[in-house]
Amino acid sequence: MTETTWLHEHFEKAGSAIGFRVTRKLDEVQSPFQHIEIYESTDWGNVMLIDGAMMLTTRDNFLYHEMMSHPALFTHADPKRVVIIGGGDCGTLREVLRHPGVEKAVQCDIDEQVTRMAEKYFPELCEANGDPRAELLWDDGIAYMANCAPGSVDIVIVDSTDPVGPAEGLFNQAFFESCHRALKDDGILVQQSESPLVLLDLIREMRAEMGKAGFASFQTLPFPQPCYPTGWWSCTMAKKAAGADFGFRETDARAKGFKTAYYSADLHKGAQALPPFVAEALAAG
């Protein structure tokens, strides 16, 4: 019988913890940027941790990857060029490239080791890495966006870790200004925006920084994410135009030619209906 133990992440900000029953550590590496660990669990498949924080599991990563990609791609009228900042596990890249209209998807993550670990322990997430439309870069995402040609991108997806360490600079006005400049007039910025249950202040601050950078309309979409603190997460979309419509191509979403496990047109509509406490807090921000 395989010996088991419990792997926990303590989330000080929420006074809570999350844990998975694991059988063994499969791998670990200290990259120039962060400490990456892979564990085998009894019920959740493989688990990746970065600097002690849960990043993804085999069982529930589809929730995050689908919500970070499909709402924005079905909200944009005709997305052709997508940039993913972070996203080294390649799951968001895979979902983006399910859209046949996308002509180019650039993934820029500072840490190549995250991708190498994903290729070995989460190969299903890396199925699109060889797609001719995909370009994988291991570089500073802040510098990449600063150097993007103005008006050259349809969607920027910021698939980052928490706003500490290498990802700290991905949540401020200067970075969002680079995204604003790189996006076309009808472009969309998407940022993972943490837990709406315990980190509403962070979401409000992030939207305020986006506003300072020139974005005028926002939509935050909550979704379940069991491996993240509180089990409830969100992404936030931003557009340049004030009062911009966040209606999406519902007919296309219903007729999409690929399978999803969580995202659907009805789910998208439902996610737009924020709980009153979230809506009130964001309106006050």
E-assigned strands of the chain? 5-11, 16-30, 35-41, 46-50, 53-57, 81-86, 104-109, 134-138, 153-159, 183-192, 217-224, 232-239
The tokens describing 190, both together, are 């998407």
Active-site residue, from 159, 185, 186, 245: 159
Instruction: Please say if 89 is a catalytic residue.
Output: no
* Separation of alpha carbons 13 and 244, rounded Å: 34
Measure the CA–CA gap between 91 and 102, rounded to whole angstroms: 16
Distance, CA of 18 to CA of 53 (rounded, Å): 10
* Nearest-angstrom CA–CA distance, 285 and 116: 40
- Annotated catalytic residues are 159
